[in-house]
Structure 1
Amino acid sequence: MNRPNVILIMTDQQKRDSLSVYGNPVCRTPNLERLASEGTIFDFAFTPYPVCVPSRVMTFTGRYSHVTRSRANSVLMQPDQEHLILILESAGYSLGLSGKNHCFQADDLDRFDYVWECGHGGPANPPDETAQKAKDFIRESKINSRCWGTVTNPNPPESLGAALTVTHAIDFLKTRQDDRPFFLWCSIADPHTPLQTSEPYASMYDPEDVPIPDQRDDEIADKPLAQQLDHKALCGEMVTEDDIRRVTAMYYGMNTYIDTEVGRLLDRVDALGLAEDTLIIYVSDHGEYLGEHRMIRKSKALYDCLTRIPLIIRLPGLVPANERRDEFTEIVDLMPTILDIIGLDHPDGIQGRSLMPLLNGDGYIARDAVFGETGVESPDGSFRVSGFDDMESIPTSPTTPDFSPRLKKGDLGPIKSVRTHDWKLVYYPGNQEGEFYDLNADPGELTNRWSDPAMAEVRSELTARILDWCIEMEDRRPSITRGAF
C-alpha cells in the first residue's frame, strides 16, 4: 500500500478565537470551515512554548523545548535532534518547503527537493521580484517600528507573502518528477506583525464591528514584575479601545486573506486528484494578544491567547469528518501522529502522543492537563523572562519609532505552567511571584489569585504537577551528535 502524502499548513501567530471556524462572529474563514467539515477540529490544542522557532522545532521533533534546547528564535534545530524531515527522507518521501522556515539550518534545508523561503525579514530565497516589491513597501512604511501600527499595502494580494507561499506550494505539487509520496510544508508567515495587507482585505472589516476582549483597568497591578515590564513595553498603559479595534480589523482582514489562499491550495489538491490520499494538517505555531491584557504581538507569557492554537486534521477514510474534539492536545503530538498515519516507527525520545488512537477510537488516554514554558535565552545560557532592563528603558508611546527590546539584566529564571480545564498556574522559579487563574470564573486570565489564601491547597497541588512534569520530561536519550558514528 502506498503511504499517504502529507501537507502541513502552518500559519504564524494566528489567534485561535479570531477565526469563524472557532466561533468568531465577525471574521470569515469559510475555507477553514470547509476543511473542518471534512476532517476533525481540535478545541483544546496548545503549543507549550509560544514563540516561533521553539514551537516549530517541537512540531518536527515531538519533543519539548527544554529538551530540544531551541528556546529562543535564535536557536534553530540542533544537529543532534532526530526530526520528521530526516525520517521522511529515509522513507523515500519527496520533500517541499514553501514559505517561512524559522526552524531548519542549512544542512537540513538541503534535504528538501524544493525550497522557496519567504518570511518577514530579508529577501525571498530564491529571489522573487514580486515578493521584494511588497517587502520594500513594508520597510519604507516603517510599520515594523510602530507597536500598534497598521497600514494598507498598495501591492495586489497576489504579490504578498501568503499568496506567493501558496503559489510556490502548488508549483511543488505540479512539478514533482516521480510517484514518490510527498511531504509539503506550506508555511504562511501571516498574520504575524507587521499588521498589513492589500485591498479588499485591508478594509474588509469595520473596526466598529469587531469584538473587544474583556479588560480590567487594574489588571496588571497584581501580575509579576516581568509582566508589568512587558505590559509597559507593549504600550498597554496608553492603548485605547480605538487602537484595539483598528488592529483587530486589519488582523481579521489578514485572516480572511490567508483563508482565501488556503482555499486555493485545497482546490488545487482536489484538481490534481490528491485529496483522497493526502493528510492535511492546519495549525499555527502560536497565538497573539490582539488587545487581550491591552497588549499586542506576544511576550514571554503563557496566557491562553498565546498558547492555545487552531488545529484541524483531514484525511478521507481515516480521520473522522465533521467532528470536534475537546481533549487536550499539544503541538508535540503532530510528529508521532503523522508517523502513525503513514506507517513509520517513532524514534526514541518522542514526548508527544499520537492522536491516532483518538481519531480511530482505539483506547486513547486523554491528558488532564497541558504544560508550558518560556523565557528569553541569553548568549550565556541563562534565562530572562522580560526583554527590558527597567521601566525607564521602555518606549512610552504606541508609535515609538525605536521599539527595540533589550535583554533584562536580572535573571528571573525560565517560567513553567500547568493548565487544566479548571485552573492555570504559572510558576516563576527563584522568587515569590507567580500567576494563578480560576478559568471557569475568569477565562480571560484577568485576576491573579496567586496570593489568595483560599487557593493555597490547589496552588500547591499544581506546583507539584509542574515538578513531576519537569522530571518526567527530561531527555532520556544518550547525548550523541547526529552523524558521530
Structure 2
Amino acid sequence: MNFIFISLDTLRADRLGVYGYKKPTSPYLDKIASQGVVFEKAYAADIPTEVAHTGIFTGKVGLTTGVVSHGSELTSLPKSVKWLPNLLKSAGYTTAAVDNLYQLKEWFARGYRHYMNSSGSKRWIDGRTVNDLAKSWLSQRGEEPFFLFLHYWDPHTPYLPPEEYIPLFYDKEKDPYDPANRSMEAAYNSAAYPFFKYHHYDMLGSVTDAEYLNALYDAEIRYLDDRLRELDEELERLGLAEDTMMVLFGDHGESLTEHDIYWDHCGLYDTTVNVPLIIRWPGRIAGGRRVPGLVQQVDLMPTLLEAAGLPVPDDLDGKSLWPAIDGQATGTHDKVFLSECAWQAARGITDGRHKLIVTYDSGPFKRPPRELYDLKADPGETNNLAEIEPELADKLQRTMEEWVLNKLAGREDPMHRQLEVGLPFRKRIEAILGQYGLTWEEWWNDPVRSKFDDAVEQSRKQRVLEGEPR
C-alpha cells in the first residue's frame, strides 16, 4: 500500500461543505470525504505551523518534544526522536515530500529520499507548483510502496486567489474599496497591523470591506479544492488510487475577524484549533463514516504505522484512530490539551463540551487571564463563563496544570523559557517598528495607531526626495 499525506495549511474546518459550510468552497474535498471517514472534532494540540507539524510527524505533543513555539531560535528536535518518514523509510517505503518547512527548521527534511522545495515565485507557494512536482515524481516513482507528503499553502495569507475564483464568493456589484465601508478599521488599528501591512494588506490595496477578505479566503479554498481534484485524477490515471491511503488534514485553522484576530491563526479558539481531518482508503474504510469524538493530530502517526503493519512506539502521545474508524470508539481522547507560544502564550483544555483557556502573555492582544466556554451552547466562544462558573474553571485548570507537570517530568517548561526571551512574533513587529524609529511601547500605547503609518509615509517621502523610485 501507499500513503499520500496532505497538509492543508491554514484550512479552517467549518469553511468546508463536509463540515456544514453552505458556500461552494469544497465540492471535491466533500467528494473525497464521502468516500472515507470524517473526524468532526479533530484538534491541533499545538499551534501554529512549526509546532503542529512537529507533533504530526513525531506523534508527540509539544511538551513532550520541547517544541512549543513557532520561529523560535531556542527550539531543537534531537535526532533520537522517532520521526514518521524515517520509520517508513527504514521499513522499505520510498519517502518523498513536496514542502518547504525545512527552511524553517531542518528536522522537517528528515527521513525523505526525495525532498522537493515547493516555494514558488508567482503566488508564494502555489498549489499548481505542488501538483506539478508531485505528479512528476509520481510518474517516475519505482515499484516500492511510497509515502508522499504534500504541503499546500493556498489558504494562508496573503489571500491572492486567481481573479476568476472571487465572484463565487463576493458580489461583483460590490466595491471592496468603497470609502463609506468602515468594516476594516478594526483590522487596520489592531496591534498586529505593522506585520500584516507588509505581508497581506499592501498586496490587496486599500480594502475597506472586511467581507472581501473573507471572500478571498473562501476563494483560496476553492482554488485548493481544484488542485486536489487534479491530484486525485492523476492518481486514477496512474492506477494508484485504489491502493493508496490518502490523509488530508489542516495544521491549524484561521480566524476571520473573530476574537479581534484578523486573518491569522493564533488564539486557542475552535476557529483555529478545530481542524479538518479526512482519511480515504478504498477497500479498507467504508465511505460516509463520521467520527464524533475528540481526536488530535498526534494520533496520525500511530494510525499510519498500524496501517503499514509496523510496530507503534510505546512512548507516543497519540493513539491509533482505527478503533474510532471501525466504530469501536467515538474518539481517541476524553480531553485534549492545547498550547500556543508565538503571537501570544496560552494553554487550554477541552473535553468537547467545555473549554478553558489560560493566557500567560497576551502579546499584541487584550485577553482576560482565563476564558471558559460552553462549546455546545456557545460554539462561537463569545460568552466567557470563567467568572460565572469559577469552580468549573478551577477544576479544568487543575487538570491542565497536573497534565503539564506530568509531561514535563521535572524538566524546564519550554514556554516559560520562551517567555523569558520574548515571544517570537512580538519580535517580528518590533523589528518592523524599529525600521521607522518606533518602539513597541510607542505603538502599543498609540490609541489610533497613527504613528506607524505616519512614520512609513515620512520614510516614503524621504526616499522620493533622495531619488529612489516610489
What is the aligned partner in structure 2 of residue 416 from structure 1? 347
Aligned in 2, Cα 1:40/1:85: closer, same or farther, shift over 3 Å? Answer: same
| Residue 83 (1) aligns with residue 87 (2) | no
Aligned in 2, Cα 1:104/1:319: closer, same or farther, shift over 3 Å? Answer: farther
In 1, the alpha carbon distance for the partners of 2:319 and 2:44 equals: 13
What is the aligned partner in structure 2 of residue 427 from structure 1? 358
Is 2:253–2:265's contact at 8 Å kept on the other side of the alignment? no
In 2, the alpha carbon distance for the partners of 1:110 and 1:326 equals: 34
In 2, the alpha carbon distance for the partners of 1:168 and 1:416 equals: 38
What is the aligned partner in structure 1 of residue 310 from structure 2? 344
- C-alpha deviation, 1:133, in angstroms: 4.1
Aligned in 2, Cα 1:345/1:110: closer, same or farther, shift over 3 Å? Answer: closer
What is the aligned partner in structure 1 of residue 457 from structure 2? none
- C-alpha deviation, 1:416, in angstroms: 1.5
- C-alpha deviation, 1:422, in angstroms: 2.1
- C-alpha deviation, 1:372, in angstroms: 0.1
- C-alpha deviation, 1:261, in angstroms: 0.4
Is 2:3–2:244's contact at 8 Å kept on the other side of the alignment? yes
Other structure's SS at 1:324 match = strand
In 2, the alpha carbon distance for the partners of 1:162 and 1:9 equals: 12
- The structure 2 residue matched to 1:463, chosen from 365, 390, 397, is 397
Residue pairs, 1:323-338, within 5 angstroms: 323-338=289-304
In 1, the alpha carbon distance for the partners of 2:352 and 2:400 equals: 16
What is the aligned partner in structure 1 of residue 192 from structure 2? 233
Aligned in 2, Cα 1:81/1:475: closer, same or farther, shift over 3 Å? Answer: farther
What is the aligned partner in structure 2 of residue 55 from structure 1? 52
What is the aligned partner in structure 2 of residue 451 from structure 1? 387
Aligned in 2, Cα 1:173/1:475: closer, same or farther, shift over 3 Å? Answer: farther
Deviations 1:29-54 (A, max 9, x none): 11111111110011100101120000
Other structure's SS at 2:143 match = coil
Aligned in 2, Cα 1:308/1:88: closer, same or farther, shift over 3 Å? Answer: same
Is 1:36–1:322's contact at 8 Å kept on the other side of the alignment? yes
Is 1:46–1:330's contact at 8 Å kept on the other side of the alignment? yes
| Residue 317 (1) aligns with residue 283 (2) | yes
In 1, the alpha carbon distance for the partners of 2:397 and 2:107 equals: 40
| Residue 297 (1) aligns with residue 263 (2) | yes
- C-alpha deviation, 1:266, in angstroms: 0.8
What is the aligned partner in structure 2 of residue 191 from structure 1? 155
Is 2:37–2:286's contact at 8 Å kept on the other side of the alignment? yes
Amino acid at match of 1:171: S
Is 1:70–1:78's contact at 8 Å kept on the other side of the alignment? no
Residue pairs, 1:117-132, within 5 angstroms: 117-118=117-118, 124=119, 131-132=120-121
| Residue 259 (1) aligns with residue 252 (2) | no
Aligned in 2, Cα 1:339/1:231: closer, same or farther, shift over 3 Å? Answer: farther
- C-alpha deviation, 1:82, in angstroms: 1.0
Amino acid at match of 1:18: R
Aligned in 2, Cα 1:115/1:317: closer, same or farther, shift over 3 Å? Answer: same
- C-alpha deviation, 1:94, in angstroms: 0.5
Amino acid at match of 1:420: D
- C-alpha deviation, 1:134, in angstroms: 4.2
Other structure's SS at 2:209 match = helix
- The structure 1 residue matched to 2:140, chosen from 163, 175, 182, is 175
The gaps in structure 2 that reach 5 residues or longer are 175-186, 195-200, 363-367, 412-470
Aligned in 2, Cα 1:357/1:472: closer, same or farther, shift over 3 Å? Answer: farther
In 2, the alpha carbon distance for the partners of 1:302 and 1:430 equals: 13
In 2, the alpha carbon distance for the partners of 1:73 and 1:80 equals: 21
Other structure's SS at 1:351 match = coil
In 2, the alpha carbon distance for the partners of 1:281 and 1:22 equals: 16
In 2, the alpha carbon distance for the partners of 1:367 and 1:330 equals: 8
- C-alpha deviation, 1:202, in angstroms: 3.5
Amino acid at match of 1:437: Y
Is 1:39–1:314's contact at 8 Å kept on the other side of the alignment? yes
More helix by share: 2
The gaps in structure 1 that reach 5 residues or longer are 119-123, 125-130, 136-159, 211-227, 377-384, 387-413, 478-485
Amino acid at match of 2:352: H
Amino acid at match of 1:447: N
Deviations 1:44-97 (A, max 9, x none): 001011200000000000000122222222246443321101101110110111
Aligned in 2, Cα 1:57/1:209: closer, same or farther, shift over 3 Å? Answer: farther
Using the size of structure 2 for normalisation, the TM-score is 0.74
What is the aligned partner in structure 2 of residue 112 from structure 1? 112
Is 1:77–1:103's contact at 8 Å kept on the other side of the alignment? no
Residue pairs, 1:118-157, within 5 angstroms: 118=118, 124=119, 131-135=120-124
| Residue 282 (1) aligns with residue 230 (2) | no
Amino acid at match of 2:355: K
- C-alpha deviation, 1:356, in angstroms: 1.0
What is the aligned partner in structure 1 of residue 448 from structure 2? none
- C-alpha deviation, 1:117, in angstroms: 1.4
In 1, the alpha carbon distance for the partners of 2:395 and 2:172 equals: 44
Aligned in 2, Cα 1:133/1:373: closer, same or farther, shift over 3 Å? Answer: closer
Using the size of structure 1 for normalisation, the TM-score is 0.72
Is 1:67–1:475's contact at 8 Å kept on the other side of the alignment? no
Please identify, of 17-26 and 45-54, the stretch whose mean Cα deviation from structure 2 is larger: 17-26
Other structure's SS at 1:353 match = coil
Please identify, of 276-285 and 197-206, the stretch whose mean Cα deviation from structure 2 is larger: 197-206
Amino acid at match of 1:97: A
In 2, the alpha carbon distance for the partners of 1:251 and 1:299 equals: 13
Aligned in 2, Cα 1:19/1:433: closer, same or farther, shift over 3 Å? Answer: same
In 2, the alpha carbon distance for the partners of 1:207 and 1:291 equals: 20
Amino acid at match of 1:174: S
In 2, the alpha carbon distance for the partners of 1:208 and 1:48 equals: 39
- C-alpha deviation, 1:101, in angstroms: 2.4
In 1, the alpha carbon distance for the partners of 2:394 and 2:123 equals: 52
Q: CA RMSD in A?
A: 3.0
Other structure's SS at 2:153 match = strand
Other structure's SS at 2:214 match = helix
- C-alpha deviation, 1:110, in angstroms: 6.3
In 1, the alpha carbon distance for the partners of 2:84 and 2:173 equals: 42
In 1, the alpha carbon distance for the partners of 2:67 and 2:103 equals: 9
In 2, the alpha carbon distance for the partners of 1:362 and 1:270 equals: 31
Aligned residue pairs total 380
What is the aligned partner in structure 2 of residue 271 from structure 1? 237
- C-alpha deviation, 1:102, in angstroms: 5.0
Please identify, of 198-207 and 186-195, the stretch whose mean Cα deviation from structure 2 is larger: 198-207
In 1, the alpha carbon distance for the partners of 2:273 and 2:265 equals: 11
Is 1:18–1:27's contact at 8 Å kept on the other side of the alignment? no
